[in-house]
Amino acid sequence: MTSAARNPQIFARHLAIGLAGYCTFVNLYSPQAILPLLAQDFGVGPAEIATIMTASTLAVALIAPFAGTVADVLGRKRVIVAAMILLAIPTIMVALSPNLSHMIFWRFVQGLASPGVFAVTLAYIGDELAPHEATVAAGIYTSGASLGGFSGRFFAGILADLFGWRYAFVTVAMFTFAGALAIWLLLPREKKFLRSEGLLASTRQMLSHFRNPLLLATYAVGFGVMFNFILIFTYINFRLAAPPYSLSATLLGGIFVVYLVGAALAPLTGWAVGRFGRRNFVIGTTLGWIGGMLLTLLDPLWLILLGLTVCAGCGLLCQAVSTSYVAITAKAGRSSAIGLYVTSFYLGGSFGAAAGGIAWVMAGWVACVAMGIVMLAIMAAIVSLKWPPVSPPAPASPIEAA
Protein backbone atom coordinates (compact mmCIF):
# COMPACT_ATOMS: atom_id res chain seq x y z
CA MET A 1 0.00 0.00 0.00
CA THR A 2 1.38 3.41 -0.93
CA SER A 3 1.81 6.25 1.56
CA ALA A 4 -0.89 8.17 -0.32
CA ALA A 5 -3.37 5.35 0.23
CA ARG A 6 -2.51 5.19 3.94
CA ASN A 7 -2.78 8.94 4.51
CA PRO A 8 -6.07 10.60 3.44
CA GLN A 9 -4.50 14.07 3.35
CA ILE A 10 -1.75 12.91 0.97
CA PHE A 11 -4.36 11.19 -1.18
CA ALA A 12 -6.51 14.35 -1.28
CA ARG A 13 -3.47 16.47 -2.20
CA HIS A 14 -2.46 14.08 -4.96
CA LEU A 15 -6.02 14.02 -6.31
CA ALA A 16 -6.17 17.84 -6.33
CA ILE A 17 -2.78 18.06 -8.07
CA GLY A 18 -3.94 15.55 -10.69
CA LEU A 19 -7.20 17.48 -11.20
CA ALA A 20 -5.29 20.73 -11.74
CA GLY A 21 -3.33 19.13 -14.56
CA TYR A 22 -6.41 17.41 -15.94
CA CYS A 23 -8.66 20.47 -16.09
CA THR A 24 -6.00 22.73 -17.59
CA PHE A 25 -5.14 20.42 -20.44
CA VAL A 26 -8.67 19.26 -21.18
CA ASN A 27 -9.27 22.93 -22.04
CA LEU A 28 -6.05 23.59 -23.94
CA TYR A 29 -6.18 20.52 -26.17
CA SER A 30 -9.88 19.88 -26.74
CA PRO A 31 -9.78 21.41 -30.27
CA GLN A 32 -6.85 19.30 -31.49
CA ALA A 33 -8.69 16.15 -32.62
CA ILE A 34 -11.43 18.16 -34.34
CA LEU A 35 -9.12 20.51 -36.25
CA PRO A 36 -10.07 18.96 -39.63
CA LEU A 37 -13.76 19.44 -38.76
CA LEU A 38 -13.20 23.04 -37.68
CA ALA A 39 -11.17 23.72 -40.83
CA GLN A 40 -14.06 22.44 -42.92
CA ASP A 41 -16.65 24.52 -41.03
CA PHE A 42 -14.60 27.72 -41.26
CA GLY A 43 -13.37 27.05 -44.80
CA VAL A 44 -9.64 27.23 -44.07
CA GLY A 45 -6.58 24.96 -44.47
CA PRO A 46 -4.46 23.06 -41.91
CA ALA A 47 -1.94 25.86 -41.33
CA GLU A 48 -4.72 28.43 -40.76
CA ILE A 49 -6.80 26.35 -38.36
CA ALA A 50 -3.68 25.41 -36.39
CA THR A 51 -3.49 29.07 -35.28
CA ILE A 52 -6.10 28.27 -32.60
CA MET A 53 -3.44 26.04 -31.03
CA THR A 54 -0.72 28.67 -31.53
CA ALA A 55 -2.89 31.38 -29.94
CA SER A 56 -3.40 29.55 -26.67
CA THR A 57 0.19 28.32 -26.34
CA LEU A 58 1.56 31.78 -27.12
CA ALA A 59 -0.69 33.34 -24.47
CA VAL A 60 0.49 30.79 -21.92
CA ALA A 61 4.10 31.61 -22.78
CA LEU A 62 3.51 35.34 -22.35
CA ILE A 63 1.71 35.24 -19.01
CA ALA A 64 3.36 32.31 -17.21
CA PRO A 65 6.18 34.21 -15.43
CA PHE A 66 3.72 36.84 -14.21
CA ALA A 67 1.36 34.20 -12.84
CA GLY A 68 4.33 32.99 -10.85
CA THR A 69 5.18 36.42 -9.47
CA VAL A 70 1.56 37.02 -8.44
CA ALA A 71 1.46 33.64 -6.71
CA ASP A 72 4.70 34.48 -4.89
CA VAL A 73 2.79 37.38 -3.30
CA LEU A 74 -0.78 36.08 -2.91
CA GLY A 75 -0.14 32.42 -2.16
CA ARG A 76 -0.59 29.21 -4.12
CA LYS A 77 -4.02 27.75 -3.42
CA ARG A 78 -6.08 30.92 -3.87
CA VAL A 79 -4.42 31.65 -7.23
CA ILE A 80 -4.98 28.08 -8.45
CA VAL A 81 -8.70 28.08 -7.61
CA ALA A 82 -9.33 31.58 -8.99
CA ALA A 83 -7.53 30.76 -12.24
CA MET A 84 -9.55 27.54 -12.61
CA ILE A 85 -12.78 29.53 -12.44
CA LEU A 86 -11.49 32.12 -14.92
CA LEU A 87 -10.34 29.38 -17.32
CA ALA A 88 -13.87 28.11 -17.88
CA ILE A 89 -15.23 31.48 -19.12
CA PRO A 90 -13.27 31.79 -22.41
CA THR A 91 -13.97 28.10 -23.07
CA ILE A 92 -17.66 28.94 -23.17
CA MET A 93 -16.91 31.86 -25.48
CA VAL A 94 -14.96 29.53 -27.81
CA ALA A 95 -18.16 27.50 -28.12
CA LEU A 96 -20.05 30.66 -29.14
CA SER A 97 -17.46 31.85 -31.70
CA PRO A 98 -19.13 32.83 -35.01
CA ASN A 99 -15.88 32.69 -37.02
CA LEU A 100 -12.22 31.74 -36.82
CA SER A 101 -11.04 35.20 -35.74
CA HIS A 102 -13.31 35.15 -32.69
CA MET A 103 -12.19 31.64 -31.81
CA ILE A 104 -8.51 32.62 -32.05
CA PHE A 105 -9.15 35.56 -29.70
CA TRP A 106 -10.92 33.47 -27.06
CA ARG A 107 -8.32 30.74 -27.32
CA PHE A 108 -5.71 33.41 -26.58
CA VAL A 109 -7.69 34.51 -23.51
CA GLN A 110 -7.99 30.88 -22.47
CA GLY A 111 -4.22 30.61 -22.61
CA LEU A 112 -3.84 33.68 -20.40
CA ALA A 113 -5.80 31.99 -17.60
CA SER A 114 -4.05 28.61 -17.76
CA PRO A 115 -0.66 29.32 -16.10
CA GLY A 116 -2.40 30.39 -12.91
CA VAL A 117 -3.41 26.75 -12.56
CA PHE A 118 -0.55 24.58 -13.66
CA ALA A 119 2.51 26.79 -13.10
CA VAL A 120 1.37 27.58 -9.58
CA THR A 121 0.47 23.93 -8.92
CA LEU A 122 4.05 22.96 -9.79
CA ALA A 123 5.34 25.69 -7.47
CA TYR A 124 3.08 24.32 -4.73
CA ILE A 125 4.67 20.88 -5.27
CA GLY A 126 8.17 22.33 -5.02
CA ASP A 127 7.34 24.31 -1.88
CA GLU A 128 5.47 21.70 0.11
CA LEU A 129 7.27 18.44 -0.68
CA ALA A 130 10.75 16.98 -0.27
CA PRO A 131 12.72 16.49 -3.54
CA HIS A 132 11.83 12.82 -4.10
CA GLU A 133 8.21 13.39 -3.07
CA ALA A 134 8.13 16.40 -5.41
CA THR A 135 9.23 14.19 -8.29
CA VAL A 136 6.46 11.70 -7.46
CA ALA A 137 3.85 14.46 -7.22
CA ALA A 138 5.08 15.97 -10.50
CA GLY A 139 4.55 12.56 -12.04
CA ILE A 140 0.98 12.48 -10.71
CA TYR A 141 0.41 15.99 -12.06
CA THR A 142 1.77 14.88 -15.43
CA SER A 143 -0.55 11.86 -15.38
CA GLY A 144 -3.49 14.18 -14.74
CA ALA A 145 -2.31 16.47 -17.52
CA SER A 146 -1.97 13.58 -19.96
CA LEU A 147 -5.41 12.25 -19.02
CA GLY A 148 -6.81 15.74 -19.53
CA GLY A 149 -5.12 16.03 -22.89
CA PHE A 150 -6.53 12.66 -23.90
CA SER A 151 -10.02 13.37 -22.57
CA GLY A 152 -10.23 16.76 -24.24
CA ARG A 153 -9.36 15.30 -27.61
CA PHE A 154 -11.31 12.05 -27.24
CA PHE A 155 -14.57 13.38 -25.85
CA ALA A 156 -14.48 16.49 -28.05
CA GLY A 157 -14.33 14.18 -31.05
CA ILE A 158 -17.27 12.07 -29.86
CA LEU A 159 -19.40 15.05 -28.83
CA ALA A 160 -18.60 16.88 -32.07
CA ASP A 161 -19.82 13.92 -34.11
CA LEU A 162 -22.95 13.43 -31.99
CA PHE A 163 -24.03 16.96 -31.13
CA GLY A 164 -21.61 19.42 -32.76
CA TRP A 165 -18.32 20.94 -31.67
CA ARG A 166 -19.95 23.85 -29.79
CA TYR A 167 -21.60 21.44 -27.36
CA ALA A 168 -18.21 19.82 -26.77
CA PHE A 169 -16.63 23.07 -25.61
CA VAL A 170 -19.55 23.89 -23.29
CA THR A 171 -19.18 20.47 -21.66
CA VAL A 172 -15.47 21.10 -21.06
CA ALA A 173 -16.25 24.46 -19.45
CA MET A 174 -18.80 22.94 -17.06
CA PHE A 175 -16.34 20.27 -15.99
CA THR A 176 -13.73 22.95 -15.31
CA PHE A 177 -16.08 24.78 -12.95
CA ALA A 178 -16.62 21.50 -11.08
CA GLY A 179 -12.85 20.92 -10.95
CA ALA A 180 -12.30 24.33 -9.35
CA LEU A 181 -14.72 23.42 -6.55
CA ALA A 182 -13.02 20.05 -6.01
CA ILE A 183 -9.56 21.61 -5.75
CA TRP A 184 -10.83 24.22 -3.30
CA LEU A 185 -12.12 21.39 -1.09
CA LEU A 186 -9.25 18.90 -1.49
CA LEU A 187 -5.98 20.84 -1.74
CA PRO A 188 -4.44 21.57 1.69
CA ARG A 189 -3.44 25.14 2.40
CA GLU A 190 0.26 25.73 1.86
CA LYS A 191 2.39 25.52 5.02
CA LYS A 192 5.93 26.19 3.76
CA PHE A 193 5.15 29.07 1.41
CA LEU A 194 7.26 32.19 2.04
CA ARG A 195 5.42 35.24 0.78
CA SER A 196 7.43 37.59 -1.41
CA GLU A 197 7.84 41.14 -0.22
CA GLY A 198 6.06 42.43 -3.34
CA LEU A 199 5.77 42.16 -7.09
CA LEU A 200 9.00 44.13 -7.60
CA ALA A 201 10.98 41.79 -5.36
CA SER A 202 9.40 38.78 -7.02
CA THR A 203 10.29 40.19 -10.45
CA ARG A 204 13.92 40.60 -9.37
CA GLN A 205 13.91 36.99 -8.27
CA MET A 206 12.51 35.97 -11.65
CA LEU A 207 15.28 37.82 -13.51
CA SER A 208 17.91 36.16 -11.32
CA HIS A 209 16.93 32.78 -12.78
CA PHE A 210 18.51 33.81 -16.08
CA ARG A 211 21.89 33.61 -14.33
CA ASN A 212 21.40 29.93 -13.51
CA PRO A 213 22.77 27.82 -16.42
CA LEU A 214 21.10 24.65 -15.16
CA LEU A 215 17.69 26.30 -15.23
CA LEU A 216 18.36 27.71 -18.70
CA ALA A 217 19.25 24.25 -19.99
CA THR A 218 16.08 22.82 -18.47
CA TYR A 219 14.03 25.59 -20.07
CA ALA A 220 15.51 24.60 -23.43
CA VAL A 221 14.44 21.00 -22.83
CA GLY A 222 10.92 22.17 -22.06
CA PHE A 223 10.87 24.18 -25.30
CA GLY A 224 11.75 21.07 -27.28
CA VAL A 225 9.23 18.83 -25.50
CA MET A 226 6.27 21.06 -26.31
CA PHE A 227 7.57 21.87 -29.80
CA ASN A 228 7.37 18.19 -30.65
CA PHE A 229 4.10 17.52 -28.86
CA ILE A 230 2.25 20.22 -30.78
CA LEU A 231 4.01 19.38 -34.03
CA ILE A 232 3.21 15.66 -33.83
CA PHE A 233 -0.28 15.67 -32.38
CA THR A 234 -1.58 18.56 -34.47
CA TYR A 235 -0.50 17.52 -37.94
CA ILE A 236 -0.98 13.76 -37.56
CA ASN A 237 -4.72 14.53 -37.55
CA PHE A 238 -4.54 15.87 -41.10
CA ARG A 239 -2.62 12.81 -42.27
CA LEU A 240 -5.16 10.43 -40.74
CA ALA A 241 -8.21 12.47 -41.81
CA ALA A 242 -7.10 12.20 -45.45
CA PRO A 243 -7.27 9.06 -47.66
CA PRO A 244 -6.48 6.22 -47.33
CA TYR A 245 -7.36 6.46 -43.63
CA SER A 246 -10.23 9.04 -43.75
CA LEU A 247 -10.81 8.89 -39.98
CA SER A 248 -13.81 10.71 -38.49
CA ALA A 249 -13.60 13.20 -35.60
CA THR A 250 -14.54 10.42 -33.15
CA LEU A 251 -11.83 8.12 -34.44
CA LEU A 252 -9.27 10.93 -34.47
CA GLY A 253 -10.15 11.62 -30.84
CA GLY A 254 -9.76 7.92 -30.12
CA ILE A 255 -6.20 8.06 -31.46
CA PHE A 256 -5.25 10.01 -28.35
CA VAL A 257 -5.79 6.98 -26.16
CA VAL A 258 -2.01 6.73 -26.62
CA TYR A 259 -1.76 9.45 -23.96
CA LEU A 260 -2.92 6.92 -21.39
CA VAL A 261 0.44 5.16 -21.73
CA GLY A 262 2.16 8.34 -20.63
CA ALA A 263 -0.35 8.74 -17.81
CA ALA A 264 0.48 5.25 -16.57
CA LEU A 265 4.25 5.75 -16.82
CA ALA A 266 4.62 9.31 -15.49
CA PRO A 267 4.16 8.46 -11.77
CA LEU A 268 7.16 6.11 -12.07
CA THR A 269 9.54 8.94 -12.92
CA GLY A 270 10.67 9.19 -9.30
CA TRP A 271 11.84 5.58 -9.41
CA ALA A 272 13.37 5.93 -12.90
CA VAL A 273 15.35 9.03 -11.97
CA GLY A 274 16.61 7.29 -8.84
CA ARG A 275 17.61 4.23 -10.85
CA PHE A 276 19.24 5.83 -13.91
CA GLY A 277 19.86 9.48 -13.05
CA ARG A 278 18.11 12.43 -14.67
CA ARG A 279 20.59 12.99 -17.47
CA ASN A 280 20.85 9.38 -18.63
CA PHE A 281 17.12 8.82 -18.35
CA VAL A 282 16.17 11.87 -20.44
CA ILE A 283 18.79 11.12 -23.12
CA GLY A 284 17.51 7.56 -23.42
CA THR A 285 13.93 8.79 -23.53
CA THR A 286 14.65 11.21 -26.38
CA LEU A 287 16.20 8.38 -28.39
CA GLY A 288 13.07 6.33 -27.85
CA TRP A 289 11.00 9.33 -28.95
CA ILE A 290 12.94 9.49 -32.22
CA GLY A 291 12.15 5.83 -32.81
CA GLY A 292 8.47 6.50 -32.25
CA MET A 293 8.45 9.33 -34.77
CA LEU A 294 10.10 7.13 -37.38
CA LEU A 295 7.36 4.52 -36.93
CA THR A 296 4.72 7.11 -37.88
CA LEU A 297 6.25 7.30 -41.37
CA LEU A 298 5.12 3.75 -42.13
CA ASP A 299 1.79 3.07 -43.84
CA PRO A 300 0.01 0.48 -41.62
CA LEU A 301 -2.29 2.27 -39.19
CA TRP A 302 -1.31 0.01 -36.28
CA LEU A 303 2.36 0.97 -36.70
CA ILE A 304 1.44 4.65 -36.79
CA LEU A 305 -0.50 4.16 -33.54
CA LEU A 306 2.44 2.33 -32.00
CA GLY A 307 4.72 5.20 -32.98
CA LEU A 308 2.33 7.75 -31.47
CA THR A 309 2.16 5.67 -28.29
CA VAL A 310 5.96 5.74 -27.98
CA CYS A 311 5.99 9.50 -28.67
CA ALA A 312 3.36 10.21 -26.02
CA GLY A 313 5.05 8.06 -23.38
CA CYS A 314 8.53 9.45 -24.00
CA GLY A 315 7.32 13.04 -24.17
CA LEU A 316 5.41 12.86 -20.91
CA LEU A 317 8.34 11.22 -19.14
CA CYS A 318 10.64 14.04 -20.32
CA GLN A 319 8.11 16.56 -19.13
CA ALA A 320 7.73 15.01 -15.68
CA VAL A 321 11.50 14.92 -15.13
CA SER A 322 12.18 18.44 -16.36
CA THR A 323 9.34 20.11 -14.45
CA SER A 324 10.36 18.50 -11.19
CA TYR A 325 13.99 19.45 -11.89
CA VAL A 326 13.03 23.13 -12.11
CA ALA A 327 11.11 22.92 -8.83
CA ILE A 328 14.10 21.29 -7.11
CA THR A 329 16.80 23.51 -8.68
CA ALA A 330 15.19 26.89 -7.92
CA LYS A 331 15.95 27.68 -4.29
CA ALA A 332 14.02 30.97 -4.21
CA GLY A 333 11.24 32.44 -6.32
CA ARG A 334 10.11 28.96 -7.26
CA SER A 335 6.84 30.14 -8.83
CA SER A 336 8.64 32.53 -11.15
CA ALA A 337 11.25 29.88 -12.01
CA ILE A 338 8.50 27.49 -13.01
CA GLY A 339 6.71 30.33 -14.77
CA LEU A 340 9.78 30.86 -16.95
CA TYR A 341 9.90 27.14 -17.66
CA VAL A 342 6.26 27.26 -18.71
CA THR A 343 7.02 30.26 -20.94
CA SER A 344 9.79 28.34 -22.67
CA PHE A 345 7.61 25.22 -22.86
CA TYR A 346 4.71 26.98 -24.54
CA LEU A 347 6.89 29.09 -26.77
CA GLY A 348 8.06 25.74 -28.02
CA GLY A 349 4.43 24.79 -28.64
CA SER A 350 3.78 27.99 -30.57
CA PHE A 351 6.85 27.44 -32.71
CA GLY A 352 5.91 23.79 -33.19
CA ALA A 353 2.47 24.70 -34.52
CA ALA A 354 3.79 27.44 -36.80
CA ALA A 355 6.87 25.58 -38.04
CA GLY A 356 4.80 22.44 -38.49
CA GLY A 357 2.44 24.37 -40.76
CA ILE A 358 5.38 25.40 -42.94
CA ALA A 359 6.72 21.85 -43.00
CA TRP A 360 3.29 20.46 -43.87
CA VAL A 361 2.89 22.84 -46.80
CA MET A 362 6.40 22.02 -48.06
CA ALA A 363 6.43 18.22 -47.84
CA GLY A 364 3.61 16.94 -45.65
CA TRP A 365 4.10 14.55 -42.75
CA VAL A 366 7.64 13.50 -43.76
CA ALA A 367 8.86 17.07 -43.28
CA CYS A 368 7.10 17.30 -39.91
CA VAL A 369 8.85 14.14 -38.69
CA ALA A 370 12.24 15.36 -39.92
CA MET A 371 11.76 18.65 -38.08
CA GLY A 372 10.81 16.83 -34.88
CA ILE A 373 13.86 14.56 -35.01
CA VAL A 374 16.18 17.55 -35.38
CA MET A 375 14.61 19.13 -32.28
CA LEU A 376 14.99 15.91 -30.29
CA ALA A 377 18.67 15.68 -31.24
CA ILE A 378 19.18 19.25 -29.99
CA MET A 379 17.44 18.39 -26.71
CA ALA A 380 19.63 15.34 -26.15
CA ALA A 381 22.78 17.39 -26.85
CA ILE A 382 21.75 20.09 -24.34
CA VAL A 383 21.05 17.52 -21.62
CA SER A 384 24.32 15.71 -22.32
CA LEU A 385 26.38 18.89 -22.14
CA LYS A 386 24.61 20.94 -19.46
CA TRP A 387 22.92 18.61 -16.98
CA PRO A 388 25.32 17.32 -14.30
CA PRO A 389 26.33 13.65 -14.48
CA VAL A 390 25.10 12.82 -11.00
CA SER A 391 25.59 9.19 -10.03
CA PRO A 392 22.16 7.60 -9.47
CA PRO A 393 21.29 6.88 -5.84
CA ALA A 394 20.05 3.51 -4.68
CA PRO A 395 16.86 2.71 -6.57
CA ALA A 396 13.49 3.04 -4.90
CA SER A 397 10.65 0.62 -5.45
CA PRO A 398 8.38 1.55 -8.35
CA ILE A 399 5.39 0.99 -6.09
CA GLU A 400 6.77 3.40 -3.50
CA ALA A 401 7.52 5.94 -6.23
CA ALA A 402 3.93 5.73 -7.47
pLDDT score of 182? 92
Per-residue confidence (pLDDT) for residue 369, from 0 to 100? 96
Amino acid at position 212, single letter: N
Residue 113 pLDDT > 80: yes
Q: Is the pTM of this model over 0.95?
A: no
Residue 8 is given by DSSP the state: H
Per-residue confidence (pLDDT) for residue 394, from 0 to 100: 33
**Residue 319 confidence (pLDDT) above 80:** yes
Whether omega before 243 lies within 30 degrees of 0, making that bond cis, reads no
Residue 392 has pLDDT above 80, yes or no: no
CATH of the structural domain 3-187+201-394, one choice from 1.10.10.60, 3.10.580.10, 2.70.70.10, 1.20.1250.20: 1.20.1250.20
* Residue 283: pLDDT band with limits 50, 70, 90: very high
Instruction: Name the residue ranges covered by the structural domains of the chain.
Output: 3-187+201-394
Q: Note the pLDDT of residue 303.
A: 95
Contacts of 145 (CB under 8 A, 6+ apart): 21, 22, 24, 25, 118, 316, 319
- What's the CA gap between 387 and 216, in Å, rounded? 10
Residue 229 half-sphere exposure toward CB, CA atoms < 13 A? 34
